[in-house]
Amino acid sequence: MSDCYCKSGRAFEECCGPFLAGTATPPTPEAVMRSRYSAFATANVDYLESSLLPETRGDFSRPDTEQWARSSEWTGLEVRSTSKGGEGDDEGFVEFVAHFTMDGKPHVHHETGRFARQDGRWFYVDGIMGPRPRVATKIGRNDPCPCGSGKKYKKCHGAAA
């Protein structure tokens, strides 16, 4: 048994192997992302295409994907964070860094991938480079203070601002 390409610490046959073989489906967005990394490492272009949300497959280029997968040495994967993607969710996010070498030069692909559940199965939708942007909510002067004091923000923590 060999270690899984996704660096989960598990054997490939017990980790991503069943997903790539089509004998199991990934139960979470993180499992989809890890299996897609393993698919790149093994140049399994069929899996890379089938793990895309069907509506997003229009711009998938089999030749380009295969060329990238085969011309790279996939050297490691870091999962930085996950959000959503649980039992009651239809959307999930995975921030990851994929390490690979191409033409003798090391590269990193840092992305936050978006995943969607459709018909009970998780699919990769798209991603943004780097971490997912944090959304801060603006507190109005007359809103309750988030500290829980019961005072208006302007009379509590907003007074110091």
DSSP state of 141: T
Give the CA dihedral 9, 13, 17, 19, nearest 10 degrees: -90
Of 52 and 129, which is predicted with more confidence?
52
Instruction: Indicate the helix (H) or strand (E) that contains 37.
Output: helix 29-41
pLDDT digits (tens, 9 = 90+) for 24-78: 999 999 999 999 999 999 999 999 999 999 999 999 999 999 999 999 999 999 9
Q: What is the average pLDDT score of the chain?
A: 89
In this predicted structure, what is the pLDDT of residue 67? 96
Handedness of CA 98, 99, 100, 106 (dihedral sign): positive
Does position 145 have pLDDT exceeding 80, yes or no? no
In this prediction, residue 148 has a pLDDT band, given cuts at 50, 70 and 90, of low
pTM of the full predicted structure? 0.80
Specify the CATH number for 12-130; select among 3.10.450.50, 3.40.50.280, 2.40.370.10, 3.30.470.20: 3.10.450.50
How far is it, in rounded angstroms, from Cα 156 to Cα 3?
A: 55
